[in-house]
Chain A
């Protein structure tokens, strides 16, 4: 009895010591995160191992389902660079004090659509009729952000809506079943399904007029950026080169489609809406003082948390690696 008790104490003590772990920091490989079904030109460089050659270290690519998962992996030290992390998970991570920084813009795309069920006769001109209706929104995502921007632009009081938190695929299904009157959707397949039974509340032009857009960012851990600035710089350089080399030829699209795990047609349709800003444009428009990146991050921060400080988020934007 006494002996086993001592053993227990010993075992728990050693477990406590093991819990205090140390992380090694030699950059003998770089771990990057990306999304499947999100076609970008740099996947050609990824497949051709241009990154590995240019950076001189092997680059491990891991696919993720959500931007939040990317943040979690970066915090636990498993991922160094996240390519195409959504702005929403980046901003929420910063609000929680995560040591990350935004070093580039990966993709600029049209804001996610909110589809109004066909047959209700509701469009942007009489959007106030939405009040009292049920809306499917994947909360705390870029689609949520777009939804709130639309409603603000159309002067609809969000508190009068019944908001249901649904993943895009479920939201599209509920829209088709008539359970919700509007569904805000991200992702190609779900948006296509929702488009069958609904119409976007705002047209492409209206979105541009109201300044509602989305972009994905390239983020790194502060530790990695401090210790390996030259690797970060080369990573962005290779990304820039593959964006410049993008001519949307059949061979290129086939390569990207295969890596993204999509059909050629879907890839084409998806990439038609994508824009990949050059380093120069990113520096001038996004990372300049009060640029798009800072203002979008600040307003996004306010959507998700009432007491968000936009100037603090702006401190985590770092365009210096693009130069």
Chain B
């Protein structure tokens, strides 16, 4: 069942998208109608105005999901499940002709030759200007200038169309012919082509670790794949074409001889160390430019016009053969489309880092599978499951080992027959260490539970300690003045700043992480309880006082109920901030937890997993918040009505 859904996630998404669009339109319609209905009898700013309106929630969620579907290409995949594979075949062609395009204005504005001439001329000028006059004699300087002139003449000869060898011209013509043949093939269409059985057996788009299968699965794809294979040969030919004007041959020999002559002089000449280095470096810089110019990569500008227009023709043929794929791509696949790297095709643009909603759900389901051996869980731990916890473990945690140490007597030693008879002291030590069987209890287990547990414990401690302190700070001069500097000093420090200390104080177990979260929750709870209690109306306190209430009764029946709205809002804020700090806390010493999963996923750029963790945290935060809203509704129904 799950597998069927996983395999047909594109079709599933198609239904979901239609449903979302329907919801969006419907909720919008209902919302407008309701707004028109109540527009007349509502006062602006009345909190009652914000009550209800669930249809706007539907509208918001539908919009969010549709935006997500669109920018993750989920919408495109839903209705055109073969598009990515076809785009991949087009990208193959793009990849193989990219070396040709890189040398032509069509791909990079200028001819590569133009850029090379410009760059090398500038470098030659620079080298000539930097000639170290103290390291070379006047004769040598003259000769070096001549040498640089000769190197420059290589460019001049290569740029002259008259010098272009017949061999090079022939090869370029041949290239143009082959490119045009490819264009013709593309324009001929894919009528007689069909994908191979092997290609059709490939996994569907996005269902496995490899996003987009590489072999063509449609006739159009086969056409592009075929042309790309042929174009690769053409590109190889192009890269090998060299322009060696006959005039350059003698210049090259001459320059080579002169450079080696200089090198020889450097070696035998008795120059001091600094001079030798300067001379060698200078000759080296000239030689470097020379070596770039002697390989015949500079062509006369107009000689490549034919290739340039042939490539333009190929591009036009490509667009023709793409047919409606181009339109689909520009509408439904925002970003740079599919790019073929050396080994695979990948989605570029927003789809690279934004996985499709259905894929995220699939990854979530894979993670939540409690069967670890069956590929579920993460790093050998389930997402949320249960396990048997030996009671002795808890006992061992609670009872300190030194209890056994202070018990009178000595630990057992092995006897002469190599047997050990444990005495009471040994048994006590085993008990304190939890090495006894006291039965087992079922407990929750897994990454999700560990994170929730940390947040809940920290939050619980924060409320338990923070609220009383805050209340007393609101009513007592001593508490206020004594704790104020302490709280206010540590409160503004970001939780991450404590992280390095936490590790060395608390170690790698849960207590450090919990403490970090506790610090966050505690400060918020103190502040909110304090604000709440100090904001109590004096008249209420005086009234109860004159009615004979004790201090305790005033605290319990007047101040606390008055502070409750602030406290509950504080809890809501604390929950949010705790979830926000969780990722930082779980970096400290990662063993389990949602933040741990995200930290590891980050190191391998596994965006699907990253989004799963983000969504888990978002949804859990939302769940907690909904619970709190319900609690607020139940406990302080008078809020905002006095």
A residues touching B (Cβ–Cβ < 8 Å)? 16, 19-20, 23, 25-27, 53-54, 56-57, 68, 71-72, 75, 89, 92-101, 134, 136, 139-141, 159, 162-167, 170, 173-174, 177, 179-180, 222-223, 226-228, 230, 234, 237, 304-305, 307, 312-313, 315-316
Contacts and interface: CB of A to CB of B under 8 A. Distances in A.
Given A20-B349, A97-B344, A174-B508, 5 more contacts: A56-B123, A75-B352, A98-B341, A166-B589, A173-B504
B16 interface: no
A315 B292 CA distance: 28
Contacts of B606: 96
A98 B346 CA distance: 8
B107 interface: yes
In the A-B complex, the 10 residue pairs with the smallest Cβ-Cβ separation, listed nearest first, are A99-B341, A165-B590, A97-B346, A140-B603, A227-B102, A56-B119, A312-B343, A179-B507, A97-B344, A92-B604
A163 B378 CA distance: 13
A228 B102 CA distance: 8
A159 B123 contact: no
Contacts of B380: 159
B602 interface: yes
B401 interface: no
B363 interface: no
Interface string B371-409: 000000000100000000000000000000000000000
A99 B605 contact: no
B343 A71 contact: no
Interface of B: 71, 98-99, 102, 107-110, 115-116, 119-120, 122-123, 126, 209-211, 285, 288, 292, 297, 334-336, 339-346, 349-350, 352, 380, 503-504, 507-508, 587-591, 596, 599-600, 602-606
Contact of A99 (B120, B339, B588, B590): B339
A54 B288 contact: yes
A208 B122 CA distance: 49
B547 to A, nearest CB: 53
A166 B590 contact: yes
B589 A170 contact: yes
Nearest to A16: B334
Contact of A57 (B119, B209, B345): B119
A165 B605 contact: no
Contacts of A237: 288
23 contacts: A19-B334, A25-B107, A26-B109, A56-B123, A68-B602, A89-B603, A93-B605, A97-B341, A97-B343, A97-B344, A98-B346, A140-B603, A141-B603, A164-B590, A165-B600, A166-B508, A167-B587, A177-B507, A222-B341, A226-B102, A237-B288, A316-B341, A316-B343
Contacts of A19: 71, 334-335, 350
A23 B503 CA distance: 44
Contacts of A228: 102
A16 B331 CA distance: 11
Contacts of B590: 139, 164-166
Nearest to B346: A97
Contacts of A177: 504, 507
B99 A226 contact: yes
A135 to B, nearest CB: 11
A228 B146 CA distance: 30
Contacts of A164: 508, 589-591
A53 B126 contact: yes
Given A159-B380, A164-B508, A173 B503 contact: yes
B334 A20 contact: yes
A315 B442 CA distance: 51
Contacts of B599: 165
Nearest to B122: A56
Contacts of B344: 97, 312
A223 B348 CA distance: 14
B135 to A, nearest CB: 17
Given A25-B108, A174-B507, A140 B589 contact: no
B108 A227 contact: yes
Contacts of B99: 226
A164 B507 CA distance: 12
B297 to A, nearest CB: 7
Contacts of B604: 68, 92, 95-96, 140, 304-305
A56 B335 CA distance: 33
B591 A179 contact: no
A150 B515 CA distance: 35
B605 A72 contact: yes
A315 B297 contact: no
Nearest to B602: A68
A71 B113 CA distance: 31
A11 to B, nearest CB: 14
B37 to A, nearest CB: 15
A141 B600 CA distance: 11
Contacts of B119: 56-57
A174 B589 contact: yes
Contacts of B508: 134, 136, 164, 166, 174, 179-180
A68 B602 CA distance: 9
B430 to A, nearest CB: 18
Contacts of B336: 23
Contacts of A304: 604
Nearest to A53: B285
Contacts of B288: 54, 234, 237
A299 B123 CA distance: 44
A71 B603 CA distance: 11
B435 to A, nearest CB: 14
Nearest to B285: A53
Nearest to B339: A99
Nearest to B35: A1
Nearest to B350: A19
